Structure 1
Amino acid sequence: MDLVMAGLEPQAFWAAMAVTLFAGFVKGAVGFAMPLIMVSAFSAFLPAEVALAGLILPTLITNMSQAFRQGHAAAIGSARQYWRFLAGTVAFILLSAQLFEHIPRMAYLLLLGVPVTAFAALQLSGLPLALPLRHRKGAEWGLGVIGGLYGGVSGIWGPPLLVYLLSIGAPKVEAVRVQGVVFLIGAAALLMAHLGTGIASPERLAFSAALVVPAMLGMQFGYKIQDRLDQALFRRWTQALLVLTGLNLVRQALF
């Protein structure tokens, strides 16, 4: 048991397991927010390095389930369709991971939390807000790069993708599958990057592996909710959750 606890007190370890169970449930229901919830909660009682390493394997395994839920052919098709977003995300996760110890936490939390909260809140209020995607290729590259920049230092690269999918009005099943594909490849890149930085040490990866169990359990319950949501309700849940996660990022930065 000591091997998977990464030197943590039992209370902290079991709190991390509970947080991951809830994060898995939310991810199963709406397709995202696992790293956001885990990072937000973990920051209250775990060292930053342990928190970042802890989310790597649950993110990798749950996104494998999500990406391939409709089969390999559908997942490969999504990867081909959104290859620009994927390329930008992966390249900049690998680059920004090297800066983990040099970027002030307040800076990246505010720079991510404020625009995401504003965008999602305006959409939730009924304003027909969408990114100008006449030049869709440029938007994919740009948002992929932004996601990668945040992903390497925080383990969070979902909000830019969610902004993009909301802007193009992607159907529920496609949106969830695309998130799984992008997050899966991004999680693999994050693991490779932090094997190099030393953050993904054997002890921390053992802790991360333990968190896979509650993550997958929660996700199976979440799938049952997702299957019952129609497109309009799914979109509103996504917008509302983006607002809450964005506000929480701002809260962490300021307090």
Structure 2
Amino acid sequence: MLRRPMLRTALLAAAVVGLSATAVSAQDGGFSLPDGFGVEIGAGTDNRAKAISKTSGDAYAYGIVDWVASDQFYVSGSVEGVDSNGADWETKVLVGWTPQVAGFDLDLNAAHKWLVDPIPGTDNGAWEFTANVSRSIGPASARVQYQYSTDALGPTGSFSWVEARLGWEFTPRLEGTAAVGRREQRNSVDYTGWNVGVTYALTPNLDLDVRYHDTDVDLPADNKYDDAVVAEIRLAF
């Protein structure tokens, strides 16, 4: 009998393959999504967010549907594989605003997350608020991100996450980025995390990302803080 993480990975991988084939077939047939809509699907060897693993080191896959309501407003819905409080899935709905101010690109959004079928009694819903400020000059790019939640999923209470990221476009198809962030949280471990890696455009719609992640936490009983090299593939259309 398959373990739950293995079953989740197998099901999600099958979904990614199926949707990828559908996307290729649709593009060959001249089909296009309605105006304003976009879809992204992908899979990776580990689901990393804020420098730590959300799948305890297991592979995962995800899907995102975006709708751009205007030049500055958008709505997004997503599902991703996790290993959290007995849940194998996490869903999210997000509303965002993307103005430009003094040459800087802003992305301000509010998201609500849900764990699907967690252990009974688990805190399975959470609000998360994000502010991104970014700018690109030639091949160089930079971004500062701030995230805050009044009450995170599961037993974790409020948290804040601040991250700085630098990037460099080596070629039109190859970009390298490095980031470092700090998370302060109630009822859980405070830590600093970082990552460095490259993203390569295999095709105009298909990217491969290979990245090294690590934190300053050493907890043998909890491998989500361990360092890892993570590979992800992403298809957008």
TM-score category of the 2 structures, normalised to the smaller one = under 0.3
Q: Which structure dedicates a bigger proportion of its chain to strand?
A: 2
Greater RCO (Cα-Cα under 8 Å, separation 6 or more): 1
Between structure 1 and structure 2, the one with the greater Rg is 2
Using structure 2 for the length normalisation, give the TM-score: 0.25
Using structure 1 for the length normalisation, give the TM-score: 0.24
Q: Which structure dedicates a bigger proportion of its chain to helix?
A: 1
